[in-house]
């Protein structure tokens, strides 16, 4: 089975499947094999991992097991805070390639705007020019981080992966990214599965009208905003539903109703808050040893 997907072009012409599959927090071997194996069988080809997730090797194994040509996959990974810097980032990139058992990475991101991200970007620019990375970008960057990076770079970030969902649509940052030809990618596109969001009467009415689930309506809202999404699930039924988004369309009125659900509520910490919290970084250093 190979369900329909759409592609979004980065500024350099590289095509990115608009619906990807996130593997954050899927670490148990059995769960990982089932979820990713099912996703590949259904037709997902865009997979999003990171050094800090601890499952790069597991993803590489599932891709190898599929017997599907490498070039049909679009694989994303990210360099972690404690491995930022020119030499450190190059070493981190090589380790990620070994973990995934691949020779190039389709998309490589700086996970947070932690210290030394300017030097890390310089290393990524070189890897990109060598053809080892197809798309270079960042994650969890605010406008001030992007402004600083662009002042000290030869290549503008091609994508920014940020928390985005109906209660936190990131309108201001979304518009900034569009203006600067930086793609917007959403993590936690379903609000981390928040039960209250799924009970929202507006979303339930729209879902009923289209004979779709609330999750499909939320994901379709992202699609129509031109956002790349990486929903995550270990449930085979939901894995399939999360990519069945191209056989219906939300009206402008429905899009407007969903935009009015904005409460400014993050389900995670502010990226800036992460960076100024020394305890957080100390714990993370211990975690990835």
Which amino acids are annotated catalytic? 53
Task: State the Cα–Cα distance between residues 24 and 232, nearest whole angstrom.
Answer: 8
Burial of 238 (0-12, 13-18, 19+ CB in 10 A): middle
Q: Residue 203: CB partners within 8 Å, gap ≥ 6?
A: 166, 197, 214, 217, 218, 258, 261
Task: State the Cα–Cα distance between residues 11 and 107, nearest whole angstrom.
Answer: 13
E strands in 80-141: 105-110, 133-139
E strands in 177-241: 183-187, 228-229
Task: State the Cα–Cα distance between residues 50 and 29, nearest whole angstrom.
Answer: 16
> Between the CA atoms of 284, 149, 156 and 259, what dihedral angle is there, to the nearest 10 degrees?
70
Task: State the Cα–Cα distance between residues 185 and 139, nearest whole angstrom.
Answer: 9
Q: Residue 25 CB: number of other CB atoms within 10 A?
A: 12
Distances in whole angstroms, Cα of residue 145 to Cα of each of 118, 120, 139, 282:
10, 13, 10, 22
Q: Which two three-digit tokens encode residue 233?
A: 């699930």
Q: Integer distance in angstroms from the first to the last C-alpha of the chain? A: 40
Kind and range of the H or E run holding 59: helix 56-66
111 annotated to bind ligand: yes
* Binding-site residues from annotation: 111
* Binding-site residues from annotation for substrate: 111
């Amino acid at each position: 089975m190979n369900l329909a997907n759409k592609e979004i072009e980065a500024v350099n012409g590289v095509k990115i499947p608009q619906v990807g599959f996130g593997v954050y927090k899927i670490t148990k071997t059995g769960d990982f094999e089932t979820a990713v194996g099912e996703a590949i069988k259904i037709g997902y080809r865009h997979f999003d991992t990171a050094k800090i997730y601890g499952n790069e090797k597991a993803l590489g194994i599932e891709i190898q097991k599929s017997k599907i040509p490498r070039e049909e996959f679009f694989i994303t990974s990210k360099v972690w805070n404690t491995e930022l810097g020119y030499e450190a980032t190059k070493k981190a990139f090589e380790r990620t390639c070994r973990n995934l058992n691949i020779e190039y990475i389709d998309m490589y991101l700086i996970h947070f705007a932690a210290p030394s991200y300017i030097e890390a970007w310089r290393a990524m620019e070189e890897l990109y020019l060598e053809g080892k990375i197809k798309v270079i970008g960042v994650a969890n960057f605010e406008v001030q981080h992007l402004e600083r990076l662009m002042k000290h770079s030869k290549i503008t970030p091609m994508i920014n992966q940020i928390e985005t969902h109906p209660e936190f649509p990131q309108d201001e940052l979304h518009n900034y990214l569009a203006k600067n030809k930086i793609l917007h990618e959403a993590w936690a596109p379903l609000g981390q599965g928040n039960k209250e969001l799924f009970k929202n009467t507006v979303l339930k009415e729209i879902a009923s009208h289209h004979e779709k689930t609330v999750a499909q309506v939320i994901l379709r809202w992202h699609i129509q905003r031109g956002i790349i999404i990486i929903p995550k699930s270990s449930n085979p039924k939901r894995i399939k539903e999360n990519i069945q988004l191209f056989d219906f369309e939300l009206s402008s009125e429905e899009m407007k109703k969903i935009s009015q659900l904005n409460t400014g509520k993050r389900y995670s910490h502010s990226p800036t808050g992460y960076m100024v919290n020394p305890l957080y970084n100390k714990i993370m250093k211990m975690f990835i040893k």
